[in-house]
Structure 1
Amino acid sequence: MSNTTAVSTQADLINQIYRYNQIFTRYTLGFALTMGNFGSILDILVFSQAHMRKNTCSMYFIACAISELFTFNVGDSTRMLNFGYKISIYNMFDWLCRVRYYITFAFVAIPHYFIILASIDRYFASSRNARRRQWSSPRIARRLIIGNILLWLVVYSHCLIFYTNQTGQCSTYDYAYDWFLRIQDAICAAFLPLLLMCIFGWLTLKNIRAIGKQIRPNEDVHTLNTMSRKDFQLIKLLIYQVAVFSLLFMPQPCFFIYDLSTYYTPKSPIRVAIEFFINNAVHCLVYIKFSCTILINLSISKLFRVELYRLIQTKIFRQKRQHAVIIATHRGTEHH
């Protein structure tokens, strides 16, 4: 009788874990999908204004926001439907299974490397060396944006070959390839971006401190003249984005390594359920990280808030005023 009770209690606990995972997925990915799309569109509108889009850092932010739309509407939405509502769209067709994982992996990496390129750009822009500052130019930025997209579309093209839903479940069905993919993703989409962001963030801060000390007055004054308050605000945004990236993205590759290292370890049903929950949670954190971009911009950058307010004033309220004037003029004409 006691054994039956224990088994029943264990089964109830496992069912609870899976139910909490479903609820957790609905709310976290639902929030990320809504806030992410809203934030990405706002970022595109703000940084695309005529006096903003000429800045190379703004160009990277625009490219990052556009690529994040693919991240949310392909990766986030399908994961939310699958784990939150048990609607497995990408299990229906083999081609959809392959394309879904291909786009998801590629467009998780692509936005990260736009932030890295923006960090590198700010390092060159803040340099006291005139030749280095020349590397921060719109022409170079446009080439790097296109190159970044093509690079990661090629790097993750193997997903189109190895992912399949032959048994009705979209997966790789190849343990060796699974090892390769997770290690590649941990390096290319987590450890390497974090390392590069930290390196160039630190180098940029070092340049700014050097400018402030004015060790070489002639060069420093020229650098200050080439860097506006807008540039310093964009550098501040990048630093905070790196911090949030570190906090929210690193758990995923760490769990991947743990999961692969314990692949052949015998596990109880409760441990399997807990690891399933953790695995899903660290995936959700990736999308939460992307959706937090707009919150960082609004809370940290006065420049972004001012530009957003100006955008609303000029594009929305002006159109309403113009519409009101047209109606008033039309009514006045009718009276005459």
Structure 2
Amino acid sequence: MSVATINNIRLQLGHCVIPILLALGNFGNFFTTWILIRTVKQRANSCALYLLCAALANWFVINTVLISSFYGLDHLEPIHISNVLCKLRWYGAHVLFIASRNFLIAACVDRWALCSQNIKIRSFSQSKIALRVVFFIIIGSILMAIPLLFFFNNSSGRCAINPSYNLAYTSYSLTFIAILPPSLMILFSFLARHNLTMIRSRVKPIDGDKTRDIHIHKRDHDLIKMLFGEVVMFCLTTCPFPCITLYNFLTVPITSNKTPIRVAIESFINFIIQPLLNYTYCCTQFYGGGGDDYDSGDYDSGDYGSSDYDSDVDYSDIEGLDGTTSLAIYIILLIRNWVLSDDTSQPSDVTFVYGVHSTSNKINVENLNSLFITGQWTSRYFQYKQWHGPHRFSLSFNRRQLEVTGLGKDNIGEFSIDGIYSLNTRRIALTKKYQKGTGNSSQNLGHTVNIQLEWNLKERLFDGKWYVTTEKYQGQGKFELQFDQ
């Protein structure tokens, strides 16, 4: 194979692949940004905020640097003429790349913190903390990329690494691209996965607090899986770049001994890795993440009452279609699901119950245990513009383990209850599981209702919200709970 043939293959490959990456990247990052913005608006989610910032950084990369690379296939790029543009091009690209990597690392740390059994560590997974972290990441990325202003110039007639900084740039790439980011991502991803496997087990915190379960909200599970997919994609597409940089540095002394065919092959491999493979991660966040599995979660979901709308598409039919059609239909269903969904997101039970104390409950209560009494309780819930109830049922509070269980019956059917509570915050988180085949057959689907309540000193009862999420219905509403006898 001749040098001209290899160069022609490289040129044709760029003409074919780069437009595909641009199309997939803009399409994917648009929908990723749109979906994550909706998530952040519905409920301030720290992980979603990090992934949103990463998607925006990736979008800027592909619409600046990747377009510049495509233009350079057939034209002389301005960076080879202006030394200022040369430095700014590499500096700006690395600022965006560093920011994207750091946002992904922050998301991994956030998911690990969310799944932690330590309350202080879990406090990191908060939106107000995430906003500060985003600010520091932006400033840090701008500062970390400053060395690139010295590493690159066009003194040789092309915008390339200054030979005097070959060692420094190679060390920089290995440290801040090949070693630290993947190591931190993999470490905290495995720690988060490890915590997830233990999330349902009994744990005793080191502060001597009572034993309690940790519940992770279903959407947090989806974000964790999406994050794991992005980490894998990042490692596969980004790590080869510092490796080829190291190879180029080690072979500098024998550059004059390289044959033209070897130089052409090395140039071809460099082109595949940079820009094609290196920018693939920026274009595949929407496709590589694993957050599309909305059927998983720690708890079941179901209707509280009848559904507001019915799904007229059978998701199982998609399996028999080809990949392109399946992707198109899935995206349509995903968009439809988000458009029709209500604001039904809820905090995790542990975050709600053991989180920040409410400012409305500052008045001292002589005997906090008197709020959580085993016996008969009544409740009512608000749905479809009216109150339903009251309904009477039994609750039993375990003061040693700070857990609550119960049984009862309402207009939907018979149900069982389990949950957790806190004397300090005076909050209760309940999981209400209906027994299928009892009560109203059209409304009782054996589903689960998640309830989060806080003591209302003025009304002398617990009030809060119920949450329901199923394939056909998503909703939330007011809920009141009061001791009867």
Q: How does 1:79-118 map to 2 (within 5 A)?
A: 79-82=69-72, 84-118=73-107
1:45-73 C-alpha deviation (Å, 9 max, x unpaired)? 11111554611001001111111122112
Q: Give the helix-richer structure, 1 or 2.
A: 1
**Offset, 1:255:** 1.3
After alignment, is 195-204 or 105-114 more displaced? 105-114
The question of 1:56 aligning with 2:46 is answered yes
Greater CA radius of gyration, 1 or 2?
2
Shift of the 149–40 alpha-carbon distance from structure 1 to 2, 3 Å rule, reads same
Q: Distance in 1 between matches of 2:67 and 2:268?
A: 18
The question of 1:209 aligning with 2:236 is answered no
1:135 aligned counterpart, secondary structure: coil
Amino acid at match of 1:205: R
The question of 1:175 aligning with 2:168 is answered no
Aligned to 2:288: 296
**Offset, 1:120:** 0.1
Q: Distance in 1 between matches of 2:163 and 2:279?
A: 26
**Offset, 1:87:** 3.7
Q: TM-score, normalised by structure 1?
A: 0.82
The question of 1:310 aligning with 2:300 is answered no
Amino acid at match of 2:287: L
1:302 aligned counterpart, secondary structure: coil
Asked whether the 8 Å contact 1:114–1:145 carries over to 2, the reply is: yes
- C-alpha RMSD of the superposition: 2.3
2:17 aligned counterpart, secondary structure: helix
Asked whether the 8 Å contact 1:78–1:89 carries over to 2, the reply is: no
Shift of the 52–267 alpha-carbon distance from structure 1 to 2, 3 Å rule, reads farther
Asked whether the 8 Å contact 2:55–2:100 carries over to 1, the reply is: yes
Q: Give the strand-richer structure, 1 or 2.
A: 2
1:143 aligned counterpart, secondary structure: helix
Q: Distance in 1 between matches of 2:57 and 2:81?
A: 25
Amino acid at match of 1:273: A
Aligned to 1:68: 58
How many residues are treated as equivalent by the alignment? 297
Asked whether the 8 Å contact 2:227–2:291 carries over to 1, the reply is: no
Q: Of 173, 177, 186, which residue of structure 1 is paired with 2:174?
A: 186
1:85 aligned counterpart, secondary structure: coil
Q: How does 1:195-274 map to 2 (within 5 A)?
A: 195-215=183-203, 219-221=211-213, 223-224=214-215, 227-265=216-254, 266-274=257-265
Asked whether the 8 Å contact 2:177–2:238 carries over to 1, the reply is: no
Q: TM-score, normalised by structure 2?
A: 0.58
**Offset, 1:232:** 0.6
After alignment, is 44-53 or 112-121 more displaced? 44-53
**Offset, 1:90:** 2.0
Aligned to 2:408: none
Shift of the 51–88 alpha-carbon distance from structure 1 to 2, 3 Å rule, reads closer
Amino acid at match of 2:127: P
Q: Distance in 1 between matches of 2:120 and 2:4?
A: 62
Amino acid at match of 1:195: S
**Offset, 1:311:** 4.2
Unaligned runs of at least 5 residues, structure 2 = 295-329, 342-485
Q: Distance in 2 between matches of 1:46 and 1:159?
A: 34
Amino acid at match of 1:309: R
Asked whether the 8 Å contact 1:28–1:288 carries over to 2, the reply is: no
1:257-285 C-alpha deviation (Å, 9 max, x unpaired)? 11111111121110000001111111110
Q: Distance in 1 between matches of 2:74 and 2:95?
A: 25
Shift of the 39–53 alpha-carbon distance from structure 1 to 2, 3 Å rule, reads farther
Q: Distance in 2 between matches of 1:220 and 1:122?
A: 20
Q: Distance in 2 between matches of 1:28 and 1:274?
A: 18
**Offset, 1:164:** 2.6
Aligned to 2:3: 14
Amino acid at match of 1:70: F
Q: Distance in 1 between matches of 2:178 and 2:98?
A: 8
Amino acid at match of 2:284: C
Asked whether the 8 Å contact 2:111–2:192 carries over to 1, the reply is: yes
Residue identity over aligned pairs, in percent, reads 24
Asked whether the 8 Å contact 2:59–2:282 carries over to 1, the reply is: no
Q: Of 14, 19, 26, which residue of structure 2 is paired with 1:30?
A: 19
